[in-house]
Structure 1
Amino acid sequence: MRPKLMFAGMTMAMSCALASAGMAKSDKEFLSDAMKADNSEIRLGELAAQKGGSEDVRSFGQALIDDHRKAKDEATALAGDLEVKTTAIITVDAQNAVETLQRLSGPEFDKEFADYMASNQEKAITEFKEKAGGGDRPVPEFARKMLPILQKHLQLAQSLSGH
C-alpha cells in the first residue's frame, strides 16, 4: 500500500510541475482559443441582449457583442499570418452556459449570466496576462491590447452579480 501512495503522490507532483511548466500556450493555440472565446462571448452577449431581464444586462450583452466582434476581427487577421484556421465554434463551457441560460428568464437569467461572465472573465484575464508577457511578437501584443477590454467586462459582470 505504501509504495502505491508514494507513486501516486509523485505522479501528482510531477503532473502539477509539468502542467505549470507547460501551461504556456503557443501563439497558434492561444489565438485559436481566443477566437473560440470571442465566438462564445458573442453568442452569450446575443442571448443577454435578447433575454436579459434588466437594461444593464442587455446593455452588457451588446457590449460583449461589439467588443468581441472587433477582437475576433483582429484575431482573424493575425490567424492568417500564423496559418491558424478561423472557426465559428464556441467553447464547451459556453455551450453549457447557453443551454442553462436559455431555460431562465428575468432576474434568474441575469444572476446566472452575470455570475458566469464574472468567472469566465477572470479565467480569460489570467490567460491573456500570461500571453501578454510573451515579448514583442504580434500575439502577445494582441493579448496586451485585449486585457483592458476583458478587465472592463469583469468589472461590469461583477457589478451585475453583486461581487
Structure 2
Amino acid sequence: MKKLSSMMLLALAALSFQSCGGGASNDSKANADSANYTKDTSTNATATGGIAVVNDDAEFAVAAANGGMAEVELSKLAETKATNAKVKEFAAMMTKDHGGANAELMELAKTKNISLPTTVGADEQKAMGDLQAKAGTEFDKDYVDLMVNEHKKAVDLFEKATTDAKDADIKSFAIKTLPVLKNHLQAIETIQKGM
C-alpha cells in the first residue's frame, strides 16, 4: 500500500509539473528561442558553445526562419490545391524564393551558432490545418489573405532588422531579402484586388 501511495504521488507530481509548463513544448519556434536564450547566457557558454549574436538578432533569425518555412509549406499546399492560375504561379514563386532564403539563413545561423526551428510554429501549424480543410475559390481567397498578412509581418520584421540588427551578417541578410519580400507583398496584393 505504501509503495502504491508513493507511485501515485510521483505520478501526480509529474502531471502537475507538466501542466505548469515544465514539460517540453511542441512549438519548434519557442524551443529555438529558448535554446538561443540558454546559449546567450555567459555562465552557460562553455556548455552550449555560446552564441555569436545578441539575443535580439537570434530572435529575428528564428522569426524569419519560422515565417519563411511557413510560407514555403503553405505555398506547396497552394501549388496543389489552388484553382486560380495566378495563385498557383505566386505559390510556385514563394516555394522557390523562400526556399532559397531559408537555405541561406540556415547557413548563416550555423556560422553564428543560432538554433533555428526545425518545423513551423504552433500558430502556423494551425493556419496550415485550417487552410488544408478549404477547397476551390474559398481556398484561393484564404491563401491569398494569409499571404498578404504574412508578408506584411515579414516586411515589418525585416525592416526593423535592417536598422536594429547588431550583427553585420544578419543585417546584410535582412537588407538583401527585404526588397524581395516587398515585391512579394505587392504581387499578392495585386492578386487579392483582382479576386
TM-score category of the 2 structures, normalised to the smaller one: 0.7 to 0.9
How much does 1:29 deviate?
1.3
Q: Map residues 42-53 of structure 1 onto 2, 5 A cutoff.
A: 42-53=72-83
Cα distance per residue 1:70-108 (max 9 Å; x no partner): 101110111011101243211333222211111111111
Match of residue 103, structure 1, among 133, 145, 158 = 133
Q: Does 1:31 align with 2:65?
A: no
Shift of the 113–25 alpha-carbon distance from structure 1 to 2, 3 Å rule, reads farther
Q: Does 1:158 align with 2:189?
A: yes
CA contact (8 A) 1:111 1:160 kept: no
How much does 1:160 deviate?
1.9
Q: Does 1:92 align with 2:114?
A: no
Aligned residues: 140
The alignment partner of 1:88 has SS state of coil
Match of residue 61, structure 1, among 91, 109, 122 = 91
- The two structures have a TM-score, normalised by structure 1, of 0.79
Quote the RMSD (CA, aligned, Å): 1.8
CA contact (8 A) 1:114 1:161 kept: yes
Determine the C-alpha separation between the residues in 2 that align with 1:47 and 1:115: 15
Determine the C-alpha separation between the residues in 2 that align with 1:29 and 1:98: 23
State the structure with more CA Rg.
2
Unaligned ranges ≥5, structure 1: 1-23
How much does 1:38 deviate?
1.4
How much does 1:25 deviate?
6.4
CA contact (8 A) 1:44 1:94 kept: no
Structure 1 segments of 4+ aligned residues over 4 angstroms from their partners: none
Cα distance per residue 1:31-55 (max 9 Å; x no partner): 1221111111110110110101111
Unaligned ranges ≥5, structure 2: 1-53
Cα distance per residue 1:99-153 (max 9 Å; x no partner): 1111111111111111111011111101100001136701011011111111111
Shift of the 136–28 alpha-carbon distance from structure 1 to 2, 3 Å rule, reads closer
- Percent identity for Structure 1 against Structure 2: 30
- The two structures have a TM-score, normalised by structure 2, of 0.67
